[in-house]
């Protein structure tokens, strides 16, 4: 004869079961929030790529606290590359770049996928992501027909370099310099400044790269002189989008005088995201820079760790990252940090 289980016992057992399920669910939720921080790293010595390093050669600091590296790889990976060409360049610079397009297309392997963009006052996607080298070459050829904006040459001839030392001194009202007393007969007019939406172009490319497969290295390869104006997005907004989407910026900087190289926004983008910048002036150096950038992006060490830091608030927190090589004076190139979410 089967005994009946009292109702009170049933309710007690049910309560214990529900508590066990809740505890398991809570434990699972905590575990699900643990994210692996992935840091691609380039290592150089005497400006040459250093290979053959092991996991224990690397030290990773997050906000000054050493982290435990749990994942390590040095295997080459295919690229998802967004090539961005500044077609608002002056005539000489644009014609120079147009001659290098065959070398640009040839810098990618059969395993890479490439999208092509151009920008001046607008951003135009010339080609969506494709692994077909012939389609990439065709997209490059269409940009060889673009004529330069002569207004840009007027500005450069006038010595107006984005507010640099060759711009018109003193206050300016409605495009005209205010004439000091005694020079009333002299009128200096600034040429109209065309828009160069560099930030918008990179922002759009970052959004498109975010949809690509995770097993690919996501890069922007931008060819520009670094001048920018008339953007809808700021540098900080664009940089945050790049870091959140794990996109590195490699830049080919054209015809930049020495004082401007280290304050160029191209250098800022590269340093922030773990890419690199190549300031070049000749056709030969431009073509070499294409190959150097793609080789460097494809052959990085990849470090992974679980952050020992936790977010206490409701919004994301930026975490600084520093990667060092134990006992060796080698240069490391990597993104400056990432945004940790609750």
Domains and CATH numbers, the chain: 35-75+302-340 (no CATH), 79-149+194-298 (3.40.50.410), 154-193 (no CATH)
pLDDT at residue number 308: 93
Residue 300's pLDDT is 97
Looking at residue 33, its pLDDT comes to 53
- pTM, two decimal places: 0.79
- The per-residue pLDDT string of the chain (342 residues; one tens digit each, 9 = 90 and over) reads 555 555 554 545 555 555 454 444 444 434 345 689 999 999 999 989 999 999 999 999 999 999 999 999 999 999 999 999 999 999 999 999 999 999 999 999 999 999 999 999 999 999 999 999 999 999 999 999 898 866 555 544 444 444 333 333 444 444 444 445 555 544 444 555 568 999 999 999 999 999 999 999 999 999 999 999 999 999 999 999 999 999 999 999 987 766 666 689 999 999 999 999 999 988 999 999 999 999 999 999 999 999 999 888 888 899 999 999 999 999 999 999 999 988
Question: Across-strand partners of 304?
Answer: 38, 71
């Amino acid at each position: 004869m089967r005994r009946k289980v009292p109702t009170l016992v049933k309710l007690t057992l049910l309560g214990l079961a529900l508590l066990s399920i809740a505890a398991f669910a809570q434990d699972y939720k905590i575990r699900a929030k643990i994210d692996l921080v992935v840091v691609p790293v380039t290592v150089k010595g005497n400006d040459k790529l250093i290979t053959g390093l092991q996991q224990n050669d690397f030290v990773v600091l997050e906000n000054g606290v050493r982290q435990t590296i749990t994942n390590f790889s040095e295997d080459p990976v295919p690229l998802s590359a967004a090539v961005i060409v500044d077609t608002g360049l002056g005539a000489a610079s644009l014609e120079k770049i147009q001659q290098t397009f065959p070398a640009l297309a040839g810098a990618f392997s059969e395993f890479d996928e490439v999208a092509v963009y151009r920008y001046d006052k607008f951003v135009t996607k010339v080609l969506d992501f494709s692994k077909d080298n012939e389609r990439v070459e065709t997209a490059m050829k269409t940009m060889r027909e673009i004529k330069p904006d002569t207004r840009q040459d007027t500005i450069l001839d006038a010595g107006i370099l984005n507010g640099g030392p060759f711009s018109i001194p003193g206050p300016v009202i409605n495009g005209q310099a205010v004439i000091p007393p005694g020079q009333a007969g002299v009128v200096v007019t600034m040429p109209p400044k065309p828009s160069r939406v560099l930030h918008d172009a990179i922002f759009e490319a970052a959004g498109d790269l975010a949809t690509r497969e995770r097993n690919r290295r996501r890069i922007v390869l931008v060819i520009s002189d670094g001048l920018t104006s008339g953007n809808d997005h700021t540098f900080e907004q664009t940089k945050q989008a790049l870091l959140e989407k794990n996109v590195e910026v490699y830049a080919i900087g054209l015809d930049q005088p020495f004082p401007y190289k280290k304050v160029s926004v191209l250098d800022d983008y590269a340093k922030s995201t773990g890419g690199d910048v190549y300031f070049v002036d000749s056709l030969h150096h431009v073509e070499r820079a294409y190959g150097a950038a793609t080789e460097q992006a494809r052959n990085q060490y990849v470090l992974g760790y679980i952050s020992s830091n936790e977010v206490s608030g409701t919004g994301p927190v930026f975490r600084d990252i520093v990667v060092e090589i134990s006992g060796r004076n080698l240069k490391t190139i990597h993104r400056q940090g990432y945004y940790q979410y609750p």
